[in-house]
């Protein structure tokens, strides 16, 4: 394994919302003279040596993906950070590597090293007539980073990124690394475990906890991904009245009488964006429908502002800056008039529709999960809070997704409405966030925070949000990691959240 010290003493996240003091940043690479499997196993040994050194010197240790999170979830304050982005080996699975009892299609399994970007996997899968099942609105994250922070996907009924991961190779200590999968959903054979020179662990509780573990369960070196046949999305965005019919649709996901482009067909993706300063003209409603792949389609076309069908608010909100309150509605309306332009029947693959890998200015982004039956009540409260604690320099956006099996997935409810509040980078935006969270607490409305976006989490809130699941996550971490590894894989963010308990 190649290990290059950069000598950096500070690290800044991709969105430039914070810097962290560190001891060093190492760039990690596979050995080019070895074949894929040999290089991968060599890298496992290299990571174990790095973990050993960190334990001996009492130095916090953290692997880094694409640095996409707004929180310090991936940082190692005063410690070592390992940039794993160049570790992008992939391997197909042979029939010998998979159990005969596996009910899926072996040809649709791909083993991906931790540094693989979501966009890279989409690019690699396409010539094989395969696709990821879902992604976030952006595809700039690594597959392990998106999984580990609970990136919430783009499809109502598929789930989030972690929900199509069926196995993980985790380096736990200088002397132990394991292949972890569910006992209830066995996939790999002993031959595959032998290839990775690892130890097989099948345990549903441990697996579900490790899926969304934000780098605190050791180093996740590789994951086994279940993919789908390559497909197209037929996409639309229309302005629709924010009336009783749309409110009912958002609160029930009952499309039997939906006034959407494809009638009562249940969409693959459904989202709503509300500009609180231009509500009379209606909400922006996006509905995407899954279609069989064909070659003769016109590729999706961005509008004249460079915004494509699947791009979300971070692609344009960064153009907003803090302003005096009276000007906020004017600025928001002017921006949205240029970038949110309705379109009809654009086609693209998942990787083309949700293909953004760029950043478009400095902004703050927060997202919470709420139960469907609270959507309209929360929206009414947002309008109220915007009058008392605003004006919010941004818009209210809603996406919808089914519950994840991951223990601490923030897509926690049977069907979760994800409320996204993307706004200008300013103290006023932070204050608005605080007012919203406090009001939801006061009203007794259950909600969860996206782990990788702006949040105000502590152990009391986490306990209210997750109950016994938080205890189960802590117990799983203590079962997998020994005391020395727990220490180096703990960062201040985890301590602030109260999830660092040693049992």
Tokens of 290: 């899954």
Per-domain boundaries in the chain = 42-229+472-497, 232-456
Angle at which helices 375-389 and 244-252 cross, to 10°: 120
Q: Could you tell me if 130 and 227 are in contact, meaning their C-beta atoms sit under 8 angstroms apart?
A: yes
pLDDT in the model for residue 67: 82
pLDDT in the model for residue 360: 62
Give the Cα separation of 410 and 382 in Å (integer): 20
pLDDT in the model for residue 359: 60
- Count Cα atoms within 13 angstroms, Cβ side, for 286: 28
Quickly list DSSP for 105-119: -GGGEEEEETT-BHH
pLDDT in the model for residue 312: 81
Say yes or no: domain 42-229+472-497 is CATH 2.60.120.1060: no
Say yes or no: domain 232-456 is CATH 3.30.70.2520: yes
Give the Cα separation of 244 and 301 in Å (integer): 32
pLDDT in the model for residue 321: 79
Residues 6+ apart with CB under 8 A from 394: 313, 317, 320, 332, 421, 422, 423, 424, 429
Residues 6+ apart with CB under 8 A from 317: 335, 361, 363, 365, 394, 395, 422, 423, 424
DSSP bridge partners of 313 = none
pLDDT in the model for residue 378: 98
The span from the first CA to the last CA of the chain, in angstroms, equals 34
Which stretches of the chain score pLDDT less than 50? none
pLDDT in the model for residue 357: 61
Tokens of 503: 């049992």
Q: What are the CA-CA distances from residue 10 to residues 202, 396, 414 (Å)?
A: 39, 34, 41
pLDDT in the model for residue 410: 96
């Amino acid at each position: 394994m190649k290990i290059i010290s950069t000598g950096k003493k500070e690290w800044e996240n991709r969105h430039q919302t914070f810097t962290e003091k560190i001891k060093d940043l190492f760039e990690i690479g596979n050995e080019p003279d070895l074949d894929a499997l040999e290089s991968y196993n060599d890298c496992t040994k290299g990571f174990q040596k790095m973990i050993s050194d960190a334990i001996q010197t009492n130095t916090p240790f953290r692997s880094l993906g694409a640095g996409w999170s707004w929180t310090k979830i991936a940082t190692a304050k005063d410690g070592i950070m390992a940039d794993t982005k160049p570790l992008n080996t992939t391997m197909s699975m042979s029939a010998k590597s998979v159990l005969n009892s596996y009910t899926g299609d072996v040809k649709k399994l791909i083993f991906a090293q931790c540094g693989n970007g979501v966009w890279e996997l989409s690019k690699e899968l396409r010539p094989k007539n395969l696709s990821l099942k879902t992604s976030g609105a952006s595809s700039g994250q690594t597959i392990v980073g998106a999984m580990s922070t609970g990136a919430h996907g783009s499809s109502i009924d598929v789930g989030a990124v972690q929900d199509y991961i069926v196995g993980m190779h985790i380096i736990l200590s200088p002397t132990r690394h394991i292949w972890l999968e569910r006992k209830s959903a066995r996939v790999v054979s002993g031959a595959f475990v032998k290839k990775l020179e690892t130890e097989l662990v099948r345990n549903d509780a441990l697996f579900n906890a490790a899926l969304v573990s934000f780098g605190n369960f050791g180093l996740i070196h590789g994951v086994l991904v279940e993919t789908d046949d390559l497909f197209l999305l037929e996409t639309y965005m229309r302005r629709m009245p924010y009336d009783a019919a749309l409110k009912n649709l958002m609160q029930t996901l009952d499309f039997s009488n939906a006034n959407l482009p494809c009638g009562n067909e249940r969409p693959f993706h459904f989202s709503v964006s509300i500009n609180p300063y231009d509500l009379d003209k209606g909400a922006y409603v996006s509905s995407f429908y899954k279609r069989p792949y064909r070659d003769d389609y016109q590729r999706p076309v961005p509008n004249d502002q460079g915004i494509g069908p699947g791009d979300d608010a971070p692609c344009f909100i960064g153009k907003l800056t803090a302003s005096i309150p009276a000007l906020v509605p004017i600025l928001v309306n002017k921006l949205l008039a240029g970038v949110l332009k309705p379109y009809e029947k654009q086609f693209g693959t998942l990787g083309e529709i949700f293909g953004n890998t760029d950043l478009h200015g400095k902004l703050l982004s927060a997202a919470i999960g709420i139960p469907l039956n609270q959507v309209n009540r929360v929206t009414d409260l947002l309008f109220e809070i915007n009058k008392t604690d605003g004006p919010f320099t941004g818009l209210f956006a809603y996406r919808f997704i089914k519950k994840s099996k991951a223990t601490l997935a923030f897509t926690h409810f049977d069907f979760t409405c994800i409320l996204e509040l993307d706004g200008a980078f300013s103290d006023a935006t932070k204050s608005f966030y605080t007012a919203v969270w406090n009001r939801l607490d006061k009203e007794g409305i259950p909600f969860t925070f996206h782990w990788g976006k702006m949040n105000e989490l502590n152990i009391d809130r986490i306990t209210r949000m997750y109950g016994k699941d938080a205890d189960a996550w802590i117990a799983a971490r203590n079962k997998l990691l020994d005391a020395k590894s727990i220490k180096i894989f703990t960062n201040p963010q985890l301590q602030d959240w109260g999830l660092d308990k040693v049992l």
